[in-house]
Amino acid sequence: MKLITESGPIVDALQSPPVEVPAIAVEAVSTWARQILSAQQIEWLHGHLLAWHVIALGALCVVGLLLHFVLKQLLLKATTAAARRAHKDALARALEESKITAPIAAIVPLAVIAVSVEGIPEILSIVAVPVSRIALALAIIEGVIVVSRALSLVDILWSQRADVARTGALRGYRQVAMVIVGMLGGVSVLAALLGQSPATLLLAVGATGALLGVIFKDFVLSLVANLMVTSTDAIRVGDWVELKQHAIDGRIAEIKATSVRVQNADGTVHAVPIARFVQEPFLNYRSRFPSPGRRIKRQFRFDARTIRVLTASELQQLEGLAGLALVVERSRAHAGNTMTNLALYRAYVERFFAAHAGIDTSLPILVTQEAPQAQGVGIDFVAFLRADAGKDLAEIEAAILDQLSLAASAFALRQFQQPSDTVAPSAPLHFMDAADMPTVQLPSK
């Protein structure tokens, strides 16, 4: 087919077979060409096939970009305005945050290009067909992006519910769904580029499904594990978890489709397969109130031979020392009159954490005692530093641990240390006196 103007055809029809274009479209383009182009320009295009293709495709792309921009603005304003008129401010904010309107607005121009490029008069099939297929493939990719952002929109709205109230409540479901949608989208894109039916390629993929299942069994297991930990709310971003069998003890920084990034207290990061949190036991120190600060979890072990009952005179002496009267009172409330130096030390540790300005007292402060072992009697304590306690939380934690370690000797307790502890001490350790007060001084907020 040729585009006829007063000066003759713009270019010869070199297509094989020719593209059938409605007569009204040809007449419209011919009229446009006569109005815009001069006779010399039309004659020049008559001898320059490449120039005509560049101009035609460029004009089509410009129209597509303008259409995308207009649709994007209209969709965003229309959807957010409708949501606000319906008093759905959360939905309006979620629409803006998910940016779902941008890929929706891109699908229409790409579809127009894919359908109309082969209808341009005098366009060669060798040019029109690849452009049409590429535009269709891009439209499919934008469709996958629309699905992804729609799932993100649902996740945002669900996470804002009062009975949920946590970010990324549906993250696991969304990630698994996107794996499936991405695979289907990839097959559709490949089919569009090859000019084949997606059903044909899907059948080919189904025929090799068993083989792929064997090859990617760990990947499939990770996806199932992701669904399980998400549905049961076993782990969240920000939880402090411990996998003793793998020497992992830190805060969850990111949960991906197949792995979990755990940041340890020293700043190192472990990438843990998410299936570990389904197949193996782990500890989750999730608190009732989430804290962005640093968790202090340590254990001191003391020589059981240094644990003894305090005398009445020693208790009376302690009650007269400024700052330790409340410690003695707290310990006496649990132990009665028969009080050991270890019980007094536990009360001191609790009081120390409660009085420290850097400790978040809204979170639990735990001081527990383990059963005696060959390495002595263990005292475990857990507390949480506030995020704004200082620039270097690790340095603050180290200073607290140093203070608690030094204070143990003032309570006549000796920390266990191999192999020197194999010999019994020649004399009992002295108990606290006035000279030890600077060592056991409680912090003031």
> Which of 284, 307, 335 is at the close of a domain?
284
Q: For 174-200, what is the mean pLDDT? A: 80
Q: Identify whether 419 is preceded by a cis peptide bond (ω within 30 of 0).
A: yes
Same domain assignment for residues 382 and 253? no
Whichever domain contains 233, its CATH number is: 2.30.30.60
- For position 345, which CATH number holds? 3.30.70.100
Predicted confidence (pLDDT) per residue in 219-263, tens digit: 778 887 887 787 777 888 888 888 888 878 888 888 888 889 998
The dihedral sign for the CA sequence 354, 358, 360, 365: negative
Q: Of 170, 266, 156, which Cα lies nearest the Cα of 226?
A: 170
CA 285 vs CA 38, 383, 403: distances in Å? 78, 11, 25
Domain contains 22 = no
13 located within any domain: no
Question: Distances in Å between the alpha carbon of 210 and those of 63, 204, 214, 217, 336?
Answer: 46, 12, 6, 10, 69
Query: Of 240, 266, 284, which residue constitutes the final position of a domain?
Result: 284
pLDDT at 174 over 50: yes
Of the two residues 95 and 132, the one the predictor is more confident about is 132
Residue 45 token pair: 């295009």
Sheet containing 259-264: which strands, arranged edge to edge? 269-273, 259-264, 248-255, 240-243, 283-284
Report d(CA 3, CA 11) in Å as an integer.
8
Interatomic CA distance for residues 139 and 24, integer angstroms: 28
Mean pLDDT, rounded, for 302-309: 88
Same domain, 320 and 422: yes
Give Cα 83 to chain centroid, integer Å.
28
Domain annotation covers residue 343? yes
| pLDDT score at 302 | 92
212 within some domain = no
367 and 431 co-located in one domain: yes
Sign of the Cα pseudo-torsion (279, 280, 286, 291, in order): negative
With H, G, I as helix, E, B as strand and everything else as coil, classify residue 413. coil
Residue 432 or residue 18, greater confidence: 432
Residue with the larger pLDDT of the pair 445 and 85: 85
> What is the overall mean pLDDT for the chain?
75
Report for 205-214, 291-300, 304-313: range of highest mean pLDDT: 304-313
Instruction: Using alpha carbons only, give the angle 69, 70, 75 rounded to the nearest 5 degrees.
Output: 100
The verdict on whether omega for the bond into residue 364 sits within 30 degrees of 0, i.e. cis, is no
Mean pLDDT of 118-144: 76
Tell whether 305 and 421 lie within a shared domain.
yes
- Smallest CA-to-CA distance from 96 within 149, 143, 170 is with 149
Nearest to 339 by CA among 302, 379, 369, 309: 309
Mean pLDDT across 354-363: 86
Helical residues (DSSP H) of 309-340, grouped into ranges = 312-319, 325-335
| pLDDT confidence of residue 52 | 67
pLDDT value, residue 379: 92
Per-residue pLDDT tens over the stretch 307-341: 888 888 877 777 766 667 777 777 777 766 678 88
Q: What percent of the chain has pLDDT over 70?
A: 74
Domain end point (choices 284, 303, 326): 284
One domain, residues 256 and 336: no
Domain contains 216: no
The pLDDT value recorded for residue 177 is 83
Q: What is the mean pLDDT of residues 328-355?
A: 82
Is 17 within a domain?
no
Mean pLDDT of 381-402: 84
> Averaged over 407-423, what is the pLDDT?
75
- Residue 407 pLDDT > 80, yes or no? yes
Q: Are residues 316 and 425 in the same domain?
A: yes
Contact between 414 and 303 under an 8 Å Cβ cutoff? The reply is yes
- The predicted pLDDT at position 46 comes to 57
Residues 261, 363 within the same domain: no
Residue 92 has pLDDT above 80, yes or no: no
Same domain, 310 and 359: yes
CA distance 400 to 353: 9
261 in the same domain as 360: no
pLDDT for 3: 43
> Are 232 and 313 part of one and the same domain?
no
Structural domain that includes position 256: 224-284
Q: Is the pLDDT of residue 8 over 60?
A: no
pLDDT for 445? 61
| Nearest CA-CA partner of 118 in 136, 145, 140 | 136
Higher pLDDT among residues 9 and 190, named by residue: 190
pLDDT at residue 25, rounded to an integer: 39
Which of 8-12, 70-74, 255-259, 363-367 is predicted least confidently? 8-12
Q: With respect to residue 195, please indicate whether it lies within any of the assigned structural domains.
A: no
Please tell me the total count of domains within the chain. 3
Is 405 within the bounds of a domain?
A: yes
- Identity of the residue numbered 233: D
Query: Distance between CA 417 and CA 300 in Å, rounded?
Result: 11
**For residue 156, which phi and psi values (nearest 5 degrees)?**
-65, -45
pLDDT at 364 over 50: yes
State whether residue 443 is helix, strand or coil: coil
- Are 321 and 426 contained in the same domain? yes
In this prediction, residues 127-140 reach a mean pLDDT of 82
- Domain shared by 304 and 396, yes or no: yes
